[in-house]
Amino acid sequence: MKKKRICIVTANRAEYSRVKTVLEAISKNQKLEYILIVIGSHLLRKYGNTYREIERDGFTIHERIYNTIEGENPVTMAKSAGFAIIELATLLDSYKPDFVVVLTDRYETLSAAVTAAFLNIPVAHIQGGEVTGTIDESIRHAVTKFAHVHFAASEASRQRIIKLGETPEFVFNVGCPATDLLLRAKILRQKEVLTNEEIKNPHIKANDPFIVVLQHPVTTEFGEGYSQIEETLYAIKDFGMQTIMLWPNVDAGSEHIVTAIRRFLEEYRLRNIFMYRHITNSLFIQLLYHCKCLIGNSSSGIRESCYFGTPVVNIGTRQHGRERGKNVVDVGYGRHLILKAIKKQVSHGRYPRENVFGKGDAGRKIADILSTINGIKVQKIITY
Ligand code: UDP
């Protein structure tokens, strides 16, 4: 029997965390085969060469697309999306998959969805229907309009996709595949985590409390990233707890954040802030569990931390409107507000766990649906 060919396009670590268990389930499914295309910041050293994590996990990378133009500004972001379309058109035409699976809301997601649609290849979209800030909000809903099958991560998202005029029969609430990874993780002792090869540093005190900071640019507030991250940096400096901090993603405005962090660390020579490009997902999950507070605007604060009840200080508009647990406190960009929120969250301690985005079986459900679904028509019709 000919296997259904599923082409998956992943652009960065956030997307990979949403597709890893889907890849595992496809590999086990007799009726499916995958073609994995890796694109975007996955392939850049500056962003941690995260394609290596995919290889370490044992998956075959069939194609690599170098589409990212340096500059991290609105123009290079648009051009990078364009390069992705040009390359994907050739690849998707030669692989002729039965489905193209696209993830979340990155500019490469839009490129992949548009290209597949032009080539009359059905599109399956993981994580549509959510609400956030930044350009991601527009991309996500635009991709919904190109997609034929929708794998929403919550019931509210499923309902929103249906309201956008999509056929309810093809809109599924499966939960988030990143949740699968969280719920199967075996929690290690903090000392083991902070002395791990990837994290260890002679100045890290492995038994002492720590916080994690991860703050990305907001593309719709381009030009404000420098001052936004400075406010966060002053707050964590004043708070004084040892801090594991990650460099931001590749989106427009990234350079402003990077420059601000560099200057700040040079000026204050703080010995208790430790910088990393990327931490392997299984280890990042351990940090999420053990940290006293997660600070910034990463989706991991909203989508993942509720499963551990980790206190979160969510800064600014990037996650505006996204479903979240009670463990998240929202603040604006002021240093005093941020500091006050961190103190409040750290003294509160762990919150009760909440299951907001699924029960840990999303990858398997997505593969099952892809292997059995029939009746997809390339011609889409709005339902109202
Ligand atoms: N993540 C990871 N290692 C890291 C940082 C993040 O594995 O060093 C994972 C994290 O668990 C989450 C995803 O990447 O699933 C989200 O990361 P990020 O904040 O980079 O992106 P966003 O989704 O906010 O755009």
pLDDT in tens, 259-301: 999 999 999 999 999 999 999 999 999 999 999 999 999 999 9
82 Rama class: left (phi>0) / alpha (psi -120 to 50) / beta: alpha
Determine the pLDDT at residue 134: 94
Determine the pLDDT at residue 1: 82
| Residue 301 CA to ligand 1 centre (angstroms) | 9
Best CATH choice for the domain 187-348 from the list 3.30.470.20, 3.30.70.100, 3.40.50.720, 3.40.50.2000: 3.40.50.2000
Phi, psi (degrees; rounded to nearest 5) at 19: -130, -5
Determine the pLDDT at residue 120: 98
Ranges of beta strands (E only) in the chain are 4-10, 32-39, 63-65, 99-103, 123-126, 149-152, 171-173, 210-214, 242-246, 273-276, 294-296, 312-315, 328-331
Domain coordinates in residue numbering, the chain: 4-176+358-372, 187-348
The token duo for 13 is 């670590």
- Is 4-176+358-372's fold the same as 187-348's? yes
Task: For ligand 1, atom 7, name the residue with the nearest CA.
Answer: 281
pTM (predicted TM-score): 0.94
Report the alpha-carbon distance of residue 344 to residue 325 in Å, rounded.
16
Tokens 């979209």: give the residue.
125
Atom of ligand 1 nearest to the CA of 277: 8
Q: Which residues of the chain have pLDDT under 50?
A: none
- CA 329-331-333 angle, 5° bins: 150
Atom of ligand 1 nearest to the CA of 178: 15
| Residue 249 CA to ligand 1 centre (angstroms) | 9
Tokens 């962003």: give the residue.
47
As a CATH number, domain 4-176+358-372 is: 3.40.50.2000
Report the alpha-carbon distance of residue 239 to residue 261 in Å, rounded.
17
| Residue 306 CA to ligand 1 centre (angstroms) | 15
Give the pocket of ligand 1 (CB within 6 Å).
Answer: 13-14, 17, 178, 214, 216, 246, 249, 278-279, 281, 284, 298-300, 304
| 248, 300, 41, 143: CA torsion to nearest 10 | -120
Residues 6+ apart with CB under 8 A from 340: none
Residues 94-113: tens digit of each pLDDT: 999 999 999 999 999 999 99
| Residue 298 CA to ligand 1 centre (angstroms) | 7
**Of 161, 151, 122, 138, whose CA–CA distance to 81 is shortest?**
138
CB 210 within 8 A of CB 292: yes
| Residue 279 CA to ligand 1 centre (angstroms) | 9
